[in-house]
Chain A
Amino acid sequence: MSATISPARKAEAPSISANVRGYAERVRGGDMGALPAVFGLVVLCTVFAVLRPSFLTAGNFANLLTQGAAVTVIAMGLVFVLLLGEIDLSAGFASGVCASILAILLTNQGLPWYVAVGAAILAGVVIGATLGSIVTKLGIPSFVVTLAAFLAFQGLVLLLIKGGTIIAIRDETILAVANKNLPPALGWGLLVAGVVAYAGLQLLRARKRAVRGLASDPISLIAVRVGALALLGGLAVYFLNVERSRNAAVVSLAGVPIVVPVIVVLLLIWTFVLRRTAFGRHLYAVGGNAEAARRAGINVDRMKISAFVICSSMAAVGGIIAASRASSVDPNTGGSNVLLYAVGAAVIGGTSLFGGKGRVLDAILGGTVVAVIENGMGLMGYSSGVKFMVTGSVLLLAAGVDALSRKRAAATGLR
């Protein structure tokens, strides 16, 4: 107890170079965060862009985003379950069940879209509550419970949509989600509003902390962050606002796909919940050390059930997006590789399979990686077989990075 933290040292604003150094130290220490996903994304995009110039067209970019949207949303929900060190293998078919309910209510019953969406999400809540209760109250490992649910939901989808029929969706609002675009001006407007709000919040926070004498981020760092957001967002909006239609006079295809702001809103909501509320803090605590959380008076069972509820509800949203994109629901909605891609997306993005570490943003990064592989290899003309094998290898690689970085972190005492 001889070294000191003097009050002066506390108030000192860490410089930007100190921040960079801290980050480099964390990465070296094994806390890679989203780095592998970002790196992978850059490499994949470069390779595909060089080999297939059509990869870099506006049309393909928009296509890629809507292609990956459903998996990404399901992966965002899975992050919550993975944070607790649990798994939900049924999320794919849960999204199928919810999409079936949506389709039946919309098309067969003729109910308005908001009732159908509400019912689909409610179904997700019920599914999550049931799974979570079985896992916590009966103590069956989530792997087994959700594996059983995976099979059962597959059957439930078949029963709901009566054998192998396909239910078409004709509701304009639902179809718009994955098939329509924002007016180009609105895309720019939302981006500007978002960047201004982000900059304002960051500055306000830094000022409040500086006033109280707490260490705050330097203005230069905030400027870099805001600049990066503005640059990336600006590029994306510009690219998506380019006319994609072959015959613009007949149908105009320009603007940010509606599903993009939907995902951004979900990202903001869940990031706020995880980082700024006691509930989110408790989720991390349960994932990090369930016993410590229990002793701190946190109801561990309730946290687990809520995580499953969030996961299945997000699966329901993913199901709605999938239904919108396909304009129909069939027995395969949410089936085949959807779940595996979603788990892969969360893990590739940097969510730990061991619990306690992960962000909703990770799921989006990972989801983009998965979508880029799927899309790029499709353009290269590879068969599904090759795509599956490559995606599988990338997932294994990501899980390997996670496991190795844990080992490394344990060795350097960072975890």
Chain B
Amino acid sequence: MTPVLELRGIDKSFGPVQVLHDVAFSVYPGEVTALVGDNGAGKSTLVKCVGGIHPIDSGEYLFDGKPVQIHSPRDAADLGIEIVYQDLALCDNLDIVQNMFLGREHRRGIVLDEDTMEEMAARTLESLSVRTVKSIRQHVASLSGGQRQTVAIAKAVLWNSKVVILDEPTAALGVAQTAQVLELVRRLADQGLAVVLISHNMNDVFAVSDRIAALYLGRMAAQVKTAEVTHAQVVELITSGRSGDLGLTNGVTV
């Protein structure tokens, strides 16, 4: 299987600080790839490079096997890469439909085509089996944390996206809501999307992911199949960059 998104030898520095060293990262369609790593390992930077927010210094960026140039968030969005940030980026004073189409409204002439947008939003939420919202015309302010996360994810999949990157989607959620969001994450992958899940929570990672990519101090320590590793091995990869045969030796991937 070819990865839908593949990065090779990515370097990224902010001034004198090199944050990413020779990072390789692959994401496959129909799978959930968990991106793990300790604070400061470079997860957010890597995701922002993927999303076009930070330009990469050097390295290859392949999409569907073809090299591409990403200069802005627009470029990434045009390829079908959507990022759901931790702070959700929803407008409290707008309703669910308005938020889902924000910046990409359908219009007829200069008039907003509310009916089409409402239909599409309802269909998307239905396809994700989202059934917790009372009305898709309610303001986002009135939603719970889990519902807001759901809206943010639905917004990302509305655009025939191929890769959806979720930055700590369960960090602020309770137990039941976490289960709901993880269920949704799994369903996205089952629909054929490539999902990247950034998480600190090993239970979440093992619950939904197919692959695990572990970053350690700006280097990719290992990319493994979830089924082939144990909980303890992943923790070791995160904390020391290696675990037995896996991981970095003197800073180089074996």
A residues within 8 Å of B by Cβ?
Answer: 1-5, 10, 208-209, 212, 214-215, 276-278, 281-282, 284-285, 287-289, 291-293, 295-298, 356-357, 409, 413-415
Query: Once the chains bind, are B107 and A414 in contact (CB under 8 Å)?
Result: no
Q: Which A-chain residue is minimally distant from B155 (CB atoms)? A: A296
Is A281 a contact partner of B122 (Cβ separation < 8 A)?
no
Closest to A295 in B: B89
Contact (A277, B111) CB under 8 Å given A296-B102, A297-B74: yes
Which chain A residue shows the least CB distance to B107? A278
19 further A-B contacts with Cβ under 8 Å, apart from A3-B132, A5-B133, A291-B89, are A1-B132, A1-B180, A1-B183, A208-B115, A209-B115, A212-B119, A214-B119, A277-B111, A281-B94, A285-B103, A288-B91, A288-B92, A292-B102, A293-B103, A296-B89, A297-B104, A356-B91, A413-B142, A414-B139
CB distance from A296 to the nearest CB of B (A): 3
Q: What is the total number of residues of chain B having a CB less than 8 Å from a CB of chain A?
A: 39
Task: Check A212 against B110 for contact (C-beta < 8 Å).
Answer: no
Give the residues from 98 to 137 in chain B that come closer than 8 angstroms, CB to CB, to chain A: 98, 102-105, 107, 110-112, 115, 118-119, 122, 126, 129-135, 137
Q: Using Cβ atoms and an 8 Å threshold, which residues of chain B touch A357?
A: 93
User: Within 8 Å of chain A (Cβ to Cβ): is B141?
Assistant: yes
Q: Please report the C-alpha to C-alpha distance between residue A297 and residue B90 in the assembled complex, in whole angstroms.
A: 13
A298 to B94, CA, bound (A): 15
Q: Are A285 and B130 in contact (CB under 8 A)?
A: no
Contact of A284 among B73, B85, B91, B104 (CB under 8 A): B91
Q: Secondary structure of the B side of the interface?
A: loop
Q: In the assembled complex, which residues on chain B have CB atoms less than 8 Å from the CB atom of A414?
A: 139, 141-142
In the assembled complex, 7 residue pairs joining A and B whose CB atoms fall closer than 8 Å, in A order, are A1-B129, A281-B98, A289-B93, A292-B91, A292-B102, A293-B91, A297-B73
B131 touches which of A2, A276, A277, A289 (Cβ 8 Å): A2
Contacts of A1 in B (CB 8 A): 129-132, 180, 183
B15 to chain A, nearest CB (A): 23
Give the chain B neighbours of A4 by CB distance below 8 A: 131
The answer for the CA separation of A214 and B131 in the assembled complex, in Å, is: 17
Over the window 185-204 of chain B, the binary record of Cβ atoms lying under 8 Å from chain A Cβ atoms (1 yes, 0 no) is 00000000000000000000
Contact (Cβ within 8 A) B94 A284:
yes
Q: Are B141 and A409 in touch, CB under 8 angstroms?
A: yes
Q: In chain B, residues 142-198, which have Cβ atoms closer than 8 Å to a Cβ of chain A?
A: 142, 180, 183
Task: Give CA–CA (A409, B140) in the complex, Å.
Answer: 13
Give the residues in chain A near B134, CB-CB below 8 Å: 5
B132 touches A214 (CB 8 A): no
Q: Given that A293-B103, A414-B141 are known contacts, is A281 also in contact with B112, CB under 8 Å in the complex?
A: yes
Instruction: Give complex CA distance A281, B139 in Å.
Output: 14
Whether B111 pairs with A415 at a CB distance below 8 angstroms is: no
Report how far A278 CA is from B103 CA in the complex, Å.
8
Cβ-defined contact, A214 with B115, below 8 A: yes
In contact, B112 and A277 (Cβ under 8 angstroms): yes
In the bound complex, residues from chain B placing their C-beta under 8 Å from that of A415 are: 92-93, 139, 141
Q: A214-B118, A292-B89, A292-B102 are in contact. Are A285 and B141 (CB under 8 A)?
A: no
* Complex interface: chain B residues within 8 A of A287 (CB): 93
Whole-angstrom distance between the Cβ of A46 and the nearest chain B Cβ: 34
Interchain CA distance A276-B114 in the complex, whole Å? 9
B173 CB, min distance to chain A CBs, angstroms: 13
Given contacts A287-B93, A288-B91, A289-B91, contact A281 B110 (CB under 8 A): no
> Which residues from chain A contact B73 at a C-beta distance below 8 Å?
295, 297
Closest to A409 in B: B141
Cβ-defined contact, A282 with B132, below 8 A? no
1/0 per residue B79-90: CB within 8 Å of A?
Answer: 000000101111
| Cβ–Cβ < 8 Å partners of B92 in chain A | 288-289, 356, 415
- Report how far A210 CA is from B221 CA in the complex, Å: 56
**Shortest Cβ-Cβ A-B pairs, 9 listed:** A296-B103, A288-B91, A288-B93, A292-B89, A356-B93, A297-B103, A296-B102, A289-B91, A415-B141
Please give the distance in Å from B155's CB to the nearest CB on chain A. 9
- Complex: how many Å from CA A296 to CA B137? 19
For the complex, what is the distance from the CA of A2 to the CA of B131, rounded to whole Å? 7
- Of all chain A residues, which has the CB nearest B106? A278
Residues of B within 8 A of A214 (CB): 115, 118-119
- A10 to chain B: which residues have CB within 8 Å? 122
Residues on the B chain within 8 Å of A285, using CB: 91, 94, 98, 102-103
A6 to chain B, nearest CB (A): 9
Given contacts A214-B119, A288-B93, A295-B73, contact A277 B110 (CB under 8 A): yes
Q: Which residue of B lies closest to A280 (CB)?
A: B112
What is the CB-to-nearest-CB distance from B143 to chain A, in angstroms, rounded to a whole number?
8
Select which of A292, A298, A356 is within 8 A of B90 by beta carbon. A292
How far, in whole Å, are A214 and B87 apart by their CA atoms in the complex?
A: 31
Q: Are B94 and A288 in contact (CB under 8 A)?
A: yes
Chain A positions within 8 Å of B119 at CB level? 212, 214
Q: A209-B115, A297-B74 are in contact. Are A281 and B93 (CB under 8 A)?
A: no
